Structure 1
Amino acid sequence: MKIHLVPALVSSLLPALAAFGQTTGEKHREVPTGRPAATAGPVVTSPPVRVERGGHLSVQVNVDATGNNILGDAANEPSIAIDPTDPRRAVIGWRQFDSVFSSFREGGYAWTDDGGQTWTFPGVLEEGVFRSDPVLDVDADGRFFYNSLTGGFVNTIHVSTDGGRTFDMGTFAFGGDKQWMGIDRTGGTGHGNVYANWTRTFSTCDGQFTLSYDDGMSYEDCIDVPGAPRWGTIAVDADGAVYIAGTGFVVAKSTTLRDPGLPPAFDFATPIDLGGPGLFGAAPNPGGLGGQTWIDVDVSGGPRHGDVYLLSTVDPPGNDPADVVLARSTDGGLTWSDPIRVNDDPPGPDAWQWFATMAVAPDGRIDVVWNDTRNSLEANISELYYASSGDGGRTWFENTPITPAFDSWLGWPQQNKLGDYYDMVSDDRAANVAYAATFNGEQDVYFTRIEAPSCADADGDSFVAFTDLLAVIGGWGPCDGCSADFDGDGVVGVTDLLLV
């Protein structure tokens, strides 16, 4: 069943959504603090943390120049970008607190060129400058962009042309609290455009959105976004249309922002029912969000090409405190499906599913991760869980725990939260996740690559059938990256045949 929203109803609901952002948003904003005085003595370190569960390895990212963990610091709110020209190269940014005894933070980042097996933390964006809310993305040429909130709610966007080893001094991009960013990599009219949205309540200008038509060298004057989406993300579809989502829940769409010859404007904004409100100040993360609102689009060219997906953690009816919920639009964001529950545990009063995070792979697979307390039944003891769908969210593979349990109340850097979000980028074989956890008793940032469940659909028709068997036989032998190599070992062979 679809939710059909007539224009008059949409218009009547949008002011209420904006007002909700002004009231609830006042309770959550980044407040700059002064840098603490330097402490005497050397930095104390310990071995880096690597944890494994069920074959899923997590590698610590925020390590020093020698690869060791830095004791007494904190790192959270990670964001990840992966180079489309060389997937072995990636950058993760985070909020870096040099001491848990101060809420002063800087823009931390680390790079890898071996697919996340090792990470190098060269230092912060700008030593001694307050920074928060890191958001990373990458253009089609492999240039990394780092959107950073600084004092006065100003956003600066920094660019790296050397794989994240260094970033420039940044370009003024207006901005405000809880910004997000998206880059057009379509090869079409908007190719290279950089889009940024933030919370309207805490803005440096009369608006909440800006964009760059010149590859990030400058940013256009601010404009408003209908529905005032906040605490959400941005997606660009295969044709260059821009979607902005926010807690509330609302999705705004523009098919004209891509074209510098047209006035920047939005086509519409649609309120969406996800079966409950988003979370702020909930027990697992008392001083922060229960998770952002995520939007992404299928650009696979397959049977669900163009479908739009919205995901968030919500407070559902009844005594269950938090669920991961997805809705789907098959008409470009005009109407949306009924909400679909992703977590497969029985509803109950002590099972929190929070920090829900989503990415859609190039082949159309939907990947979702979240923190989950179903096994501990304690609000502060979570495990990272994963689920995926190969049919547009209609059905899901079994929920899978990815990490050992950790305590989300440990290591608070004078803020009683683990940040406000995780981040993820998916490819055709796996989900690449940047997340924060406390495996060693303090907040640190980790990377894990979660291999997607194998589905032996070699011809991409959404069915496993005789034609897929023929594809395996026809592709027998070394065949790195081909569709019949279901187990990803670079060879089409017996194991792939058994999967069919």
Structure 2
Amino acid sequence: MPPRICCALLAALAVCPWLGAAEVGTNVKLNSDGTAELHNEEQLAVNPTDPDNVVAVWRDFRLGYRRIGVGVSHDAGASWSDTLLPDSAWPRASDPGICADSAGNFYAHVLSLSNGGGVAGAAISVFKSTDGGDSWADPVDAVTSPFGLLDKQMIACDRSGGPTDGYVHLAWYDVGGGIRTTRSIDGGASFESLRQVSDGGSVQWPVPAVGPEGQVYIGWVDFSESVLKFDRSSDAGRTWGPDGIITPLLITNEPINGGIDVLAYPAMMVDNSTGPRRGTIYVAYIDRREPGGDTDIFLRRSNDEGTSWSQPLRINDDPLDSGADQFHPWLVVDEEGALAVIWLDRRDDPDNLEWNAYLARSFDGGRSWTPNVRISSASSSPAGGQTAAAGLIGEYIGIDSLAGDLYTVWTDTRDGQQDVWFAPAFDLDSDGDGVADTADNCPTVANRRQRDADGDGQGNLCDDDADGDGLSNDLDDDDDNDGLADADDCAPTDPLVAARPPETVGLIADTDGITWIWDEDASGAATEYRLDRGALVALMGGSYDHACLVTGLFDPRASDSELPGPGAGFYYLGLGVNCFGVGSAGAGRPSGPCP
């Protein structure tokens, strides 16, 4: 083949192994009944003893009236079986939810209805499965009402690992009595007498959560005051204190475009990890930034058991006041303390009508969020709503997480009617840097090289004190302690980058004859590479005419399939690059910019 000559080169630092990030998994329809009936109001839970076991529940009209559908997967959502929860003494059911305890038992709760129908229930019933959702015991009525005035119940399983582990907590709205709760301390075999939680007001939509020491928290919406309220029990749900306020609201319950009712319920979870934010309470909710504006998803957090709350932080990252509504949020905090929120989002439709399911994650206690990721592979429209009951498309959707993997479920009308759709997200790479979120030391900012100057596990680009000297970056004149003041340093948090990369050696041709490989820059100054090519005739004449062939390389490796003409040849230079510019090509060998 025509001659090729290798000359001086530069390279980059050695890097940690990185994980290729998987995309959001395939969308799967869970209800297989084949009818055109309505299916919505979904929740799901992952078995903490078996991450391949996922169980979902939803409101299901396949028989022409309200029942509860249940879907079971034993392969992390790749395949599903679905049916209806077993018959009970109550002919109809609605408003389902689910949780899993530490032993892997699933508890599905339903609002049990009489033949008289209506939107309020005569009982709240709990079904238990001890075999991963494949079968369910006869339900236990946790609470009954002779007047059929129960509504909007939610469940929480205590997985604190302490003396209250295994307790099951229910909270609901009693039309005549406000927010109430009960608990089971015997694995769902029985439930204690109800306890009053709310102090008054026009209230609804209670959501319970359990803290790391068995504390129980409940949040709800107060329509009369236009606020989200909160109460806590420090004795595992036995006694309750005065109501507090999580946040004021500009929206509590109203229809948005297409006739979809949205409610500002508090999707609430607690960090029960052993990490630095253990015990932090998080609430995701819908609200407007200003009266008449589009609806957004916000987060507030409390580090003192709900005594005080952070300022609201907007999670959806579409442009402010874009006119696109976001609604129906749900929240999960995994065993490592990472947060994830799912919601329905209209940013993809300029008419603000069709929606998709979206997702965002936070690895710093909700202070920052990854770029939003679309989960659904097809858009949905209210035209597939079929009925105006329960807000047209139901009032909530679901998400759960285990070992960094996310499982999501939502209402979808791509087939012309309301169905239940599911998608997993494994090894999600939210910032697109090629490092999966679960392995990324800075998952919200692209940093493929994972540089961590002070070795604290937090990447330089996300670390408020990059050099670990006790001074925050905004107070430190030399954040990376490289001797170059931040004002003169284009990489102020990276001590390895204080000048252009040096020259290195080792350029060789790979066995295919068209790929060139060179050594990584041992100094660590190079953050990427480029390959230059020149004409051999110029080199033999004592001059250099090489120019940039390819740039932006992560590894010191590039290919060139072009062959020189007869009697001619190419020479190559491998160069290191950082924010200070192109590295040295060696004495007398210029290196110009890439086009």
- Report the TM-score when normalising by structure 1: 0.75
CA distance in 2, matches of 1:432, 1:126: 28
Contact preservation (8 Å) 1:235, 1:242: yes
Cα pair 1:360 1:367 within 8 Å, conserved = yes
Q: Which residue of 2 aligns with 1:478?
A: none
Letter in 2 for 1:208: R
Change in Cα spacing, 1:412 to 1:54, as seen in structure 2 (3 Å) is: farther
Q: CA RMSD in A?
A: 3.0
What residue is the counterpart of 1:201 in the other structure? 175
Partner residue of 2:235? 256
Which of 416, 429, 452 is matched with 1:465 structurally?
452
| Worse overlay, 422-431 or 389-398 | 422-431
CA contact (8 A) 2:24 2:424 kept: no
Residue pair 2:26, 2:424 contacting (<8 A) in 1 also: yes
CA contact (8 A) 1:231 1:246 kept: yes
Q: Per-residue CA shift, 1:472-499, capped at 9, x if unaligned?
A: xxxxxxxxxxxxxxxxxxxxxx9xxx89
Aligned to 1:130: 92
TM-score by length of 2: 0.63
Question: Which protein, 1 or 2, shows the higher relative CO under an 8 Å CA cutoff with sep ≥ 6?
Answer: 2
Conserved 8 A contact 1:407-1:438: yes
Q: 1:179 aligns with which of 145, 153, 163?
A: 153
Residues 305-352 of structure 1: CA distance to partner in whole angstroms, max 9, x if unpaired? Answer: 211111111133144221101111111110001111111222336310
Contact 1:459 1:467 survives alignment (8 Å): no
Q: Post-superposition shift, 1:145?
A: 0.7
Distance verdict in 2 for CA 1:195–1:96, change over 3 Å = same
Tell me by how many angstroms 1:55 deviates.
4.4
Candidates 264, 270, 293, aligned match of 2:266: 293
* Equivalent position of 2:309 in the other structure: 336
Q: Is the 8 A contact 2:158 2:214 kept in 1?
A: yes
Match of 1:107 among 59, 63, 68: 68
Q: Quote the residue 1:216 is aligned against.
A: 188
Confirm or deny that 1:372 pairs with 2:333.
no
CA distance in 1, matches of 2:212, 2:245: 23
Partner of 1:433: 408
CA shift digits 1:157-216 (9 cap, x unpaired): 11111211121220111162010011111121211111100113267xx96211111111
Q: Which amino acid aligns with 1:111?
A: V
Q: Is the 8 A contact 2:325 2:345 kept in 1?
A: yes
Counterpart selection for 1:88 from 52, 57, 60: 52
2: distance between equivalents of 1:426 and 1:268?
Answer: 32
The verdict on how the C-alpha distance between 1:284 and 1:356 changes in structure 2, with shifts beyond 3 A counting, is farther
Residues 295-314 of structure 1: CA distance to partner in whole angstroms, max 9, x if unpaired? 11112221212111111111
Quote the offset at 1:379 in angstroms.
3.7
- Whole-Å separation in 2 of the counterparts to 1:78 and 1:423: 6
What displacement does 1:469 show? 10
1:68-467 equivalences in 2 (<5 Å): 70-98=34-62, 104-126=65-87, 129-151=91-113, 152-174=121-143, 176-201=150-175, 208-227=180-199, 230-247=204-221, 248-257=227-236, 264-274=238-248, 276-286=250-260, 288-290=261-263, 292-348=265-321, 350-403=323-376, 404-413=378-387, 415=389, 417-451=392-426, 452=428, 453=430, 454-455=436-437, 456=439, 465-466=452-453
* Deviation per residue, 1:15-45 (Å, 9 max, x gap): xxxxxxxxxxxxxxxxxxxxxxxxxxxxxxx
Residues 299, 362 of structure 1: 8 Å contact kept: yes
Structure 1: distance between partners of 2:187 and 2:415? 40
- Inter-partner Cα distance in structure 1 for 2:342 and 2:165: 29
Point out where structure 1 has 5 or more consecutive residues left out of the alignment.
1-52, 65-69, 259-263, 472-493
| Shift of residue 458, structure 1, vs aligned partner | 6.5
- C-alpha change, 1:300 and 1:333, in structure 2 (3 Å) is same
Q: Is the 8 A contact 1:289 1:420 kept in 2?
A: yes
Aligned counterparts of 1:115 and 1:316: Cα–Cα separation in 2: 38
Query: How many pairs are equivalent?
Result: 407
Q: Tell which structure's C-alpha radius of gyration is larger.
A: 2
* 8 Å contact kept, 1:159–1:170: yes
SS in 2 for 1:230: strand
The letter of the residue matching 1:212 is: S
SS in 1 for 2:151: coil
Q: Which amino acid aligns with 1:253?
A: R
Percentage of pairs with the same residue: 27
Question: Do the aligned residues in 2 keep the contact of 1:254 with 1:268 (CA within 8 Å)?
Answer: no
Residues 78-105 of structure 1 deviation map (CA, whole Å, 9 limit, x = unaligned): 1112111111112111111126xx5x21
Deviation for aligned residue 1:436: 1.2
Cα deviation for residue 376 of structure 1 reads 0.7
Following superposition, the deviation at residue 138 of structure 1 comes to 1.2
